[in-house]
Amino acid sequence: TGEAGLMEEEREAANLLIGQYNRGGWLNTPEKYSQLDAIEIQLGQGAQGSSPQKSLAENIGEDYQKVFGLAQGENALIHSRLPGVDSKEDFIQLVRRLKDETGVPVGLKIAATHYLEKELEIALEGEVDFVTIDGAEGGTHGGAPILQDDLGLPTLYALNRTVKYFNKQKALNKVNIIATGGLVTPGQFLKALALGADAVYIGTAAVMAVVSEQMIETVPFEPPTSMVVYSGKMTDQLDIDKGAQGLYNYLQACVKEMELVTISMGKTDFSKVSRSDLCSLDPFLSKATGIKLGYISDEEQEDFFSINLKN
């Protein structure tokens, strides 16, 4: 759902729906989150961190007010902190309460920072079912440039550190890892799975797939997103069925291409692809991720780094 309330149409259309228990509070009541198939406690996102956000009342229509539970003239506010969660103990109690009340998986979404392991420690102590790691490349409809440019860890390093920490804590295969943040191509998806993610999710790429065959209607005077964002000037011209087909085609093509690479490596399942199937042409990335260098043999890997470190 993202940071929003619960749309009746969305719930009716979705076979499985993950909703965000969010810092705006718009989905944080039992009558709403009890309708979900999984709950993601959202404490931040890659392109905005946990910065406060505000949508002005003048840009909010009646339909928006209804879904978000806003009074006429009320701004929509996203707080820096999740209301009611001011400590580690508060977070742990929230996870346990949501699990007890709903019986569905409960996870945590965070913007990856250098404090990653400390946050993951709390997540594991709270016995979350999954953790969503959002890298700095994640998209946003309105984050300040400094948040997009200078805050957070890139997705690759954040995912690698998460997998390494979970492995150390023997939490792999017990708590699912979802990678997100700037992932667009099937190659990026498959590499994320190979590095240890159990799944990936996308935002901007999905939006562009929806408008892919219709963006000709908007350019050159409006951006393609004007057909899909709430404040867009051309939302009434979006062909929903065509957009849904465009997204379906994109996702199906991604899976087919991932299958081709997986088969080429002699594997029969995406879960069988691992970091041992990867190599890098960048010594820094190789050292940072534990992936072997592609331009020297396996036998030379250790000598290469020991020699270069001495130099």
CATH number at residue 189: 3.20.20.70
Burial class (CB in 10 A: 0-12, 13-18, 19+), 133: buried
Does position 311 have pLDDT exceeding 80, yes or no?
A: no
Classify residue 34: in a domain, yes or no.
yes
Q: Which of 172-176, 222-226, 242-246 has the lowest mean pLDDT?
A: 222-226
Tell me if 226 sits within 8 A of 242, measured CB to CB: no
Q: Which domain holds residue 164?
A: 1-202
C-alpha distances (whole Å) from 37 to each of 3, 7, 10, 17, 295 are: 16, 14, 13, 5, 46
Q: Which of 35-39, 123-127, 160-164, 223-227 has the lowest mean pLDDT?
A: 223-227
Nearest to residue 33, comparing CAs of 64, 11, 13, 55?
11
Q: How many domains does the chain have?
A: 1
Whole-number Å distance between alpha carbons of 184 and 223? 19
Classify residue 209: in a domain, yes or no.
no
Classify residue 78: in a domain, yes or no.
yes
Does position 195 have pLDDT exceeding 70, yes or no?
A: yes
Instruction: Provide the mean pLDDT of the chain.
Output: 94
Tokens of 189: 């998806």
Classify residue 19: in a domain, yes or no.
yes
Classify residue 2: in a domain, yes or no.
yes
Classify residue 273: in a domain, yes or no.
no
* Strand 76-78 to 53-55 pairing: antiparallel
pLDDT tens for residues 239-295?
Answer: 999 999 999 999 999 999 999 999 999 999 999 999 999 999 999 999 999 999 999
Classify residue 68: in a domain, yes or no.
yes
Classify residue 264: in a domain, yes or no.
no
